[in-house]
Chains A and B, each alone.
Chain A
Amino acid sequence: MRTNLDRRHFLGLAGLGAGAAALAACGGPSTAGTADAVDTATIDFTGVKPAASIDFWTNHPGKSQDVEKAIIEKFHAKFPDIKVNLVTAGANYEEIAQKFQTSQAAKTGLPGLVVLSDVWWFRYFSNGSIIPIDGLVKQLDIKIDDFQKSLVDDYKYDEKQWALPYGRSTPLFYYNKDHFKAAGLPDRAPATWQEFADWAPKLKATSGAQYAYIYPALAGYAGWTLQNNLWGWGGSWSKNWDITCDSKESVAALQWAQDSIYKDAWAGVSSKEAADDFAAGITSSTISSTGSLLGVLKAAKFNVGVGFLPGGPEAPSGVCPTGGAGLGIPSGITKEEQLAAATFLKFMTEPENTAAFSAATGYMPTRLSADMSAVLAATPQIKTAMDQLAATKVQDNARVFLPGADQEMAKAAAKILTQQGDVQATMTELKKTLEGIYTKDVKPKLKA
């Protein structure tokens, strides 16, 4: 038999080989039926031995790399059979999410434990990317009742617990005590934005700073911090699943914000990070995460004061959203890895470790029994953040559950606060966009 391998045959074979290799290596979604939902009923860890090694994906919220390393070292001393690899999986929550979602699509390289922010965990849940941890909580005797209730309840859905709180924060009002003193103002945060509007011209006149107040960077989490203004005026991004960003109250809140920049000219908008602008002395005050507290205290060359978020004409208090990140366990890894991850999750959130994490970053301790006396002695400002927790409010559904809503809110805010766009028209347009996202991406996945 004669073989006649000419160029055409060769190219055909090469193409076939490359195609086969690619097919073997490449995963993709199934179009055969419904999603591979996590069958929570079958998760049974009885007799499972924890894996010898897992990856922990984090963005080191609040510049926490050193404290995370220290906690992992303590974990290795207590559990020498489980090695935890600390992986910097992104510079922020969005970059971690990007890496995590890509690994889900590739069906490879998933971590044991992943940091998931307030706006991402629900999406992981709806995609079946994380497991409910109720069984592990029971098996490992994680003291769920000792967690801050409002923080742990944020990760409850369908009567299951999908994550535990980790780097949890609220926005905090930061002010330059020296500027306030020079302007003859009391050494405290304003009770309401109306009060601050009275103070702002004095601050602007005496401080030498560019702004009396700077709005947080829009490319950051404008949707998060602006909830404070919306709630203060009686508005919101949404009420349950009804989008209400175009309501009379919401428009009034954002109109006031626009006026503070263009009409009254005492406020500005941060371009990158409001906490950095504040620490650099560009502004006399701002709103930023409690997770920025330690960084600001280290960087600022003036006396830093912190206080509760100001209220508004309709709601003088209870206008502070919770935020930050929790820890979840992927569904696409082995039970051994999930058990090892849960063991580490339990250790990471134990009272002494949450206190150490809080001391290093300014994030709130997530455990009721965490001994914060040493932390508060060193950084008394953390007490304000802890006290404010009692006055927090669950975030609007539109911000935390609609994919891409945070970005759409930021774009709308940019139009209003940096281009002096018409507030009512912008919010009407935003409502249309958010409703479209809800109808297409969320409504079909909600339980009836």
Chain B
Amino acid sequence: MTTRQIHSSTAPAGRPDAPPPVPPVAAEQPTPERRRWSGRSRKDFLVFLAMALPNLVLIGTFTYWPLINNIYYSTLDWTLGSASATVVGLQNYITFFTSEDAAKVLGTTAIFTLVTVGGSMVLGLLVALALNSKVRGTTFARSAVFAPYVLSGVGVGLVWLFIFDPGYGVLAWILRGLGQQSPQWINDPQLSLVMVIIVYIWKNLGYCAVVYLAGLQSLPRDVMEAAALDGANSTRRFFNISLPLLSPTTFFLLITTMLSSLQAFDLIRIMTPLGNGTSTLIYEAYLQAFGAYNRAGYSAAISVILFAILLIITVLQLRFVERKVHYS
């Protein structure tokens, strides 16, 4: 880069009367100008070092090295806690994909992700529309809606467990008042998944609502006013103008909430420690290594599968979904 810049400063390209280019070897001769530039460059580079080095070391140590290590562990038959392991190549992956659990775990992951992403975004948008109206109390309502998002997942899980408890939970109390028995939210695997999804959406709804609210408030008013003058009713204005203009927001939320859902852990761990019916890929990886099974190599393989899925989804979203986004 430096060579080309020095050439262009002395011999601009494209002029018909331009002298022939200086042979590259001439550029290797240090000139006072080059030395000055190098000095500045070195100083800039030292600043860059000072700024970037700590982060690079941290990212390398705590992200990329564990990732590489994990891929290596996925090729081992290793019982957590044991000092030795056997190299088994791709056997852990084969075991996972040929087991009956694979379909169950992948299915649970798909249901959990799709319902929580869809639920959080649709409900978040509806709440954002409500909060965008100019009525009293919206400031308080915005805070109230956002509050669950910043609460600890462990705390939220524990409180909701009390609400769902079929014995003495609030929900059971209400149902008994109506002459109904409480469903077995915690013991029944299918209802456990429903329970965790409800709580997850409740907790993350505020995030989507606030982001959508920011999007709604940045929509151009003149377009909306023009549409209103042209006789478009509010429903039509929403579906034909607001929603398309919100597509960058929707795209952003789709990526972030999907990545977040695929990595959801705390609520599942607290509310359904056995993962009975709620074992998503990430929770299955946890259970296999740190639950009762101690299959560290197998767990590492599941983690690599999850990583691959996350990578593919993100690339696909960036490659295809983004085309549908209107940025202006």
Contact = CB atoms under 8 A, between A and B. Distances in A.
A299 interface: no
B57 A101 contact: no
Interface string A72-104: 000000000000000000000010001011101
B266 to A, nearest CB: 15
B276 interface: yes
Contacts of B72: 28
A15 interface: yes
B167 A100 contact: no
For chain B, which range describes its interface: under 10, 10 to 19, 20 to 34, or 35 or more residues? 35 or more
Contact of A403 (B69, B85, B190, B294): B294
B185 interface: yes
Interface in A388-405: 403-405
A272 B192 CA distance: 13
With most chain A CB atoms within 10 A of its CB, the pick from B53, B83, B85, B165 is B83
A29 B85 contact: yes
Nearest to B286: A98
Interface string A12-28: 00110111011001101
B82 interface: yes
Interface string B142-170: 00000000000000000001000111100
A272 B188 CA distance: 13
With most chain B CB atoms within 10 A of its CB, the pick from A124, A214, A269 is A269
B290 A271 contact: no
Given A31-B87, A403-B293, A414-B189, 8 more contacts: A31-B85, A94-B292, A217-B187, A268-B167, A271-B165, A277-B167, A411-B274, A419-B190
Contacts of B161: 272
Interface in B226-267: none
Nearest to B274: A219
Contacts of B66: 22
Contact of B167 (A5, A26, A119, A271): A271
B73 A28 contact: yes
Contact of A36 (B84, B86, B273, B276): B84
Given A210-B167, A403-B293, A218 B187 contact: yes
B49 A271 contact: no
Contacts of A441: 79
Interface string A249-272: 000000000000000000011111
B24 interface: no
Contacts of A31: 76, 84-87
A29 B84 contact: yes
Contacts of B56: 11, 14-15, 18
Nearest to A92: B273
Given A210-B167, A407-B292, A411-B276, A102 B80 contact: yes
Interface string B43-74: 00100110001001100110011100100110
Contacts of A186: none
B65 A18 contact: yes
Contact of A102 (B165, B167, B290): B290
Contacts of B283: none
Interface of A: 5-7, 10-11, 14-15, 17-19, 21-22, 25-26, 28-36, 94, 98, 100-102, 104-105, 119, 123-124, 127-129, 210, 214, 217-219, 268-272, 277, 280, 282, 403-407, 410-411, 414-415, 417-419, 441
B93 interface: no
A22 B80 contact: no
A189 B89 CA distance: 56
B274 A407 contact: yes
A39 to B, nearest CB: 13
A100 B290 CA distance: 10
Contact of B69 (A7, A28, A210): A28
Nearest to A128: B83
Contacts of A419: 188-190
Given A26-B65, A407-B274, A407-B291, A17 B57 contact: yes
A282 B287 CA distance: 32
Given A10-B49, A101-B290, A30 B273 contact: no
A30 B85 contact: yes
30 contacts: A10-B49, A15-B56, A15-B60, A17-B57, A18-B65, A22-B60, A22-B61, A26-B69, A29-B84, A29-B85, A36-B83, A36-B84, A105-B80, A124-B81, A128-B83, A210-B167, A217-B187, A218-B276, A271-B165, A271-B166, A271-B167, A271-B184, A405-B292, A407-B274, A407-B287, A407-B291, A407-B293, A410-B274, A411-B274, A417-B187
B42 to A, nearest CB: 8
Contact of B45 (A7, A94, A218, A415): A7
Contacts of B76: 29, 31
Interface in B277-292: 287, 290-292
